[in-house]
């Protein structure tokens, strides 16, 4: 599913239209009465920044496919309420691979990306915390997975699938989703060829998918 554009909306309820014109002004050019309404535009799309940080990579992962996916996000939104739809989809977005980034004095490699989404299903991300007494987490009962296909130095590729449900629930208005990998603990794939298949399942038949719980 492709990303939506950045979208804002405003909706005023209980506007009284009657013969009392005290709150109206007359537009002579258009020959009609006009009522000004002050409304605040609120976002109904949210930006997520994702980063996979490779510790001790030592040249093992040399590139990423260029696309990643984040699952469990809303397909749509109702503009007059700001509440996202109930139909969960997978959002495709671009990622880049940067080598030798300094993180607190450590040299790490990072696969980073940016995506726009309607957010989590069945909630208004902008007003959710206020409407629930300042809660810091939204739970729509949907699991969220991020997958990134990586190429190793031996020419093999592998799709890594990370469960990021906890992070998405805490960032219902968008934010940074971080995965940290110690590459000393990740085996280099030995299979021949690579499908490049972006999957969110465990043990896909070609052996090219690995799952990590975070």
DSSP element (H, E) containing 111: strand 106-117
What are the CA-CA distances from residue 120 to residues 72, 74, 176 (Å)? 7, 5, 15
pTM of the model: 0.80
Cα radius of gyration rounded to whole Å, the chain:
23
DSSP state of 174: B
Characterize the bridge pairing of strands 175-182 and 46-55.
parallel
- Average pLDDT for 81-108: 95
pLDDT tens, residue by residue, 152-202:
999 999 999 999 999 999 999 999 999 999 999 998 888 655 544 433 433
Question: Is residue 152 within 8 Å of 201, Cβ to Cβ?
Answer: no
User: Which residue's entry shows tokens 């002050």?
Assistant: 38
User: For all residues of the chain together, what is the average pLDDT?
Assistant: 86
Q: What is the pLDDT of residues 104-119, one digit of tens each?
A: 999 999 999 999 999 9
**pLDDT digits over 33-54, tens only?**
998 888 889 999 999 999 999 9
């Amino acid at each position: 599913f492709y990303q939506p554009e950045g979208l804002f909306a405003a909706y005023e309820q209980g506007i009284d239209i009657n013969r009392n014109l005290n709150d109206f002004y007359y537009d002579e050019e258009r020959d009609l009465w006009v009522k000004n309404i002050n409304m605040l535009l609120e976002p109904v799309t949210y930006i997520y920044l994702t980063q996979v940080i490779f510790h001790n990579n030592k040249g093992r992962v040399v590139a990423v496919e260029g696309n990643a996916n984040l699952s469990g996000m809303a397909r749509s939104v109702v503009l007059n309420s700001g509440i996202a739809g109930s139909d969960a989809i997978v959002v495709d977005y671009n990622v880049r691979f940067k080598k030798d980034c300094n993180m607190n004095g450590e040299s790490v490699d990072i696969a980073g990306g940016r995506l726009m989404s309607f957010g989590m299903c069945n909630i208004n991300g902008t007003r959710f915390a206020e409407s629930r007494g300042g809660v810091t987490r939204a739970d729509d009962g949907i699991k969220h997975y991020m997958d990134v296909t990586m190429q190793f130095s031996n020419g093999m590729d592998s799709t890594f699938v990370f469960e990021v449900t906890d992070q998405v629930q805490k960032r219902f208005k968008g934010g940074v989703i971080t995965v940290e990998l110690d590459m000393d603990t990740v085996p280099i794939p030995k299979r021949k060829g690579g499908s490049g298949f972006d999957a969110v399942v465990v043990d896909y038949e070609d052996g090219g998918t690995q799952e990590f719980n975070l």
